[in-house]
């Protein structure tokens, strides 16, 4: 199977960074590249969770069509909400068949919540922790500023730089 987009090594680095950023160090996380075969839906990722043993496998498509870091953060957001999600899902399934009525609505709302959370995480200072030592695609390396890691860009780079400058001026 040919993997388009980022290599498995690059993806593992991204996973490691987000595992640290999202305080999931006590989890054993891994990535598996797969060919999703659903005809009704173009799938970019999925996550298989073994809550008891704190193990999870992130499944990623071999033919990515979305930013793969966002897909990883999306799947990890599912993991953050896992227990809560399953508690709510069970309640919805008491009175509804899978993917019907309130269960269907719940699944829609879950995806909306996870997408919002992903957006926030990707653009928030948590993404700027010094563990970020890789550079890929749109996240190109920038010159090092006062010894901080060189992976920040755009507004993040500015806010980080401004903060450091301010601290030095005070």
**Residue ranges that bind Zn ion, judged by CB under 5 A:** 114
CB of 47 to Zn ion, least distance (A): 8
CB of 92 to Zn ion, least distance (A): 16
Whole-number Å distance between alpha carbons of 99 and 80: 22
Nearer to Zn ion, 67 or 151 (CB): 67
Whole-number Å distance between alpha carbons of 78 and 46: 9
Assess contact for 4 and 64: CB atoms under 8 A: yes
Nearer to Zn ion, 50 or 112 (CB): 112
Nearer to Zn ion, 82 or 134 (CB): 82
CB of 85 to Zn ion, least distance (A): 10
Nearer to Zn ion, 60 or 114 (CB): 114
Could you tell me which of 124, 113, 146, 138 has the C-alpha nearest to residue 21? 124
CB of 68 to Zn ion, least distance (A): 14
- DSSP helix/strand/coil, 145: strand
């Amino acid at each position: 199977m040919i993997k388009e987009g980022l290599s498995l090594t690059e993806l593992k680095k991204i996973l490691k960074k987000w595992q640290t950023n999202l305080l999931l160090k006590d989890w054993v996380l891994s990535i598996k590249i797969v060919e999703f075969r659903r005809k009704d839906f173009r799938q970019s990722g999925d996550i298989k969770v073994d809550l008891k043993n704190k193990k999870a496998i992130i499944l990623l498509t071999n033919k990515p069509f979305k930013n793969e870091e966002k897909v990883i953060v999306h799947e990890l957001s599912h993991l953050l909400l896992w227990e809560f999600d399953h508690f709510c899902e069970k309640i919805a399934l008491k009175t509804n068949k899978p993917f019907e009525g309130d269960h269907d609505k719940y699944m829609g709302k879950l995806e909306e919540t996870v997408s919002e959370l992903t957006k926030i995480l990707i653009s928030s200072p948590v993404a700027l922790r010094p563990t970020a030592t890789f550079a890929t695609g749109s996240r190109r390396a920038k010159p090092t500023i006062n010894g901080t890691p060189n992976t920040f860009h755009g507004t993040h780079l500015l806010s980080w730089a401004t903060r450091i400058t301010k601290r030095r001026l005070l």
